[in-house]
Chains A and B, each alone.
Chain A
């Protein structure tokens, strides 16, 4: 890890092009070095933190006095560091009968701080949890004694987690985990504390500032979305092409346990919404074999969004992955055991994160635990779902690359569409799309749910709702058309919008066929279309021209008698 004196040297660099964020740092111990470490770390992450550092031990005055510098400064982020040492001092001064209320009283104070700041500022609050101090007054019995300091401290940490999970603006920064990682003798130095009132050692400052800035970066939308994995000696021991499926090390073979546990970790990341990709120098069919057949593989092919196994250079392959997923390189992590490959990728793709994995695969996991690569400020079931969407899109793109002929690709998708008039089940979604569709929207007339309802029961209209599914998944309702009866002979396309997710699948042709069919069946000779330009719907300016309509004044006309069935590969699903 970078040293504190290196971080301090960053302070003299040019911050002028970096994103500026106003931060307040409130501590009950001396925080001057911490403040420098956070600003210095911010430089490396691309942030210019403007830090208001209150004189130490002023947390309560700053928060509860509405005329304080804190409220005058109007920070966007407030970091609060109440140390375990000061908590212990508080405990020491209590009467023994009050010991057991320490956690409860401290949490009340924190809740008050939180609500007061949230009422007066539009700021995110980052609260450092409590690093453990065992005062050894009860020995192991502290764990059975509610009034012991250790019991109260751990209870407070637990209650803080409950509190944070119910308060979206309040984030915990887990410095207790850092102490766990580096050991208390490295985290805290008595001589430094006694001389300066600082409770963090010089050596641990970079760790603390790193997880703090990780958290702030995540709040501001900078976080990792994708993990790209090498295979040989990264996901399993040995070389699949040389050793064969029976001899790669996984499970109980050789050091296979290390790789199996490593894969479980990766699987957990996938389950929480990280997109997994493979980038390996291998023959594809051989590289896929363990995923399909090896009993001790934790990861399977359906866990991998994009599988790139070939003999091209890895930087190019990762660029391909990027173009498929359409996410920034700065949200990608690449893991490879080979320093040569890591360097090629690092040199060619500047923003990607490439951890320097230890030489011994047994150490991969412990090393990666210390890197905090996958910071996030949200988690919901939708995250895992969103991954599935990326995966489906990736599979389509990969398939498309395998076909030189567009039609062959479309045929292979096995597309089906459900075509229905508006009904009570699809009306909410149609109304939503009507409000949201900007690009593929011919007239951009917005309808609310009640508008759509009255159109659906009126005899002046024909209404269509289209879904599209293919062999990779169901896109749901993606297109809608409203035909208005103009007179005995003609219908007007009042509305035609479509989700851009399904562009270039032949959906336009399919929809037109349905429109023509309905018009003919009901004895209409002419279909009239109109394109109303907006800033965003340029992609459909030639829509009617491409479909064979002819221009007439500001409208587009199609004669239902001389129009042929338009080619497409979508079947109607009954």
Chain B
């Protein structure tokens, strides 16, 4: 799966869960850039991504991502 394709799909998840209609995320986006993205909404996003891509993240992965790009990479790796 393409990076841009994954990014587009998780952008929709972010919009839905954080409830910000015009939110645009990039691979560089971090939790510091978005107020609504806190440790609790992070879990909601993680669970939604697991459902969307039919994968399961490890706890270390969930806690280890530094930005959206690393999330995207994990998803691509797990979908191979």
Binding site for B on A (CB under 8 A): 4-5, 8-9, 12, 32-33, 189-192, 194-196, 198, 201-203
Contact = CB atoms under 8 A, between A and B. Distances in A.
Contacts of B77: none
A8, A9, A33, A202 interface centre (most CB from chain B within 10 Å): A202
B59 A5 contact: no
Contacts of A5: 16-17, 44, 48
Interface string B23-57: 00000000000000001100110111000000001
Given A191-B59, A192-B47, A195-B39, 18 more contacts: A5-B17, A9-B19, A32-B40, A33-B40, A190-B59, A191-B57, A191-B58, A192-B43, A194-B59, A195-B43, A195-B62, A196-B39, A196-B40, A198-B43, A201-B47, A202-B43, A202-B44, A202-B47
A50 B47 CA distance: 28
A196 B45 CA distance: 13
Nearest to A4: B44
B28 to A, nearest CB: 23
Nearest to A32: B40
B63 interface: yes
B60 to A, nearest CB: 9
Interface residues of B, number: 15
Nearest 5 A/B pairs, CB to CB? A191-B59, A202-B47, A194-B59, A192-B43, A196-B43
Nearest to B58: A191
A191 B43 CA distance: 9
Nearest to A201: B47
Nearest to B16: A5
Nearest to A202: B47
B47 A203 contact: yes
A556 B3 CA distance: 96
A195 B17 contact: no
17 contacts: A5-B44, A5-B48, A9-B19, A12-B19, A189-B47, A190-B59, A191-B57, A191-B59, A194-B59, A195-B39, A195-B43, A195-B63, A196-B39, A196-B40, A202-B43, A202-B44, A203-B47
Contacts of B58: 191
Interface of B: 16-17, 19, 39-40, 43-44, 46-48, 57-59, 62-63
A32 B40 CA distance: 9
Contacts of A12: 19
Contacts of B62: 191, 195
Contacts of A195: 39, 43, 59, 62-63
A9 B16 CA distance: 10
Contacts of B39: 195-196
Contacts of A203: 47
Contacts of B44: 4-5, 202
Contacts of A189: 47
A196 B40 CA distance: 7
Contacts of A4: 44
Nearest to A9: B19
A208 B48 CA distance: 19
B45 to A, nearest CB: 10
Nearest to B63: A195
A33 B39 CA distance: 12
Nearest to A36: B40
Contacts of A202: 43-44, 47
A4 B57 CA distance: 20
A574 B46 CA distance: 80
Nearest to B40: A32
Residue of A5, A12, A194, A201 contacting most chain B CB atoms (<10 Å)? A5
Of residues B16, B17, B19, B47, which shows the largest number of chain A Cβ atoms within 10 Å of its Cβ?
B47
A201 B56 CA distance: 14
A225 B17 CA distance: 38
A5 B58 CA distance: 23
Contacts of A33: 40
Contacts of B48: 5
A12 B17 CA distance: 13
A203 B48 CA distance: 10
A516 to B, nearest CB: 78
Contacts of A198: 43
Contacts of A190: 59
Contacts of A9: 19
A236 to B, nearest CB: 40
A12 to B, nearest CB: 8
A198 B58 CA distance: 16
A196 B43 CA distance: 8
A103 B46 CA distance: 36
A490 B41 CA distance: 86
Contacts of B59: 190-191, 194-195
A191 B56 CA distance: 10
Nearest to A12: B19
A201 B46 CA distance: 12
B51 to A, nearest CB: 9
A190 B17 CA distance: 21
A2 to B, nearest CB: 14
Contacts of B19: 8-9, 12
Contacts of A194: 59
A189 B57 CA distance: 11
A4 B63 CA distance: 22
A148 B22 CA distance: 54
Contacts of A8: 19
A159 to B, nearest CB: 34
Nearest to B39: A196
A336 B63 CA distance: 49
A192 B19 CA distance: 21
B62 to A, nearest CB: 6
A530 B72 CA distance: 89
A84 to B, nearest CB: 20
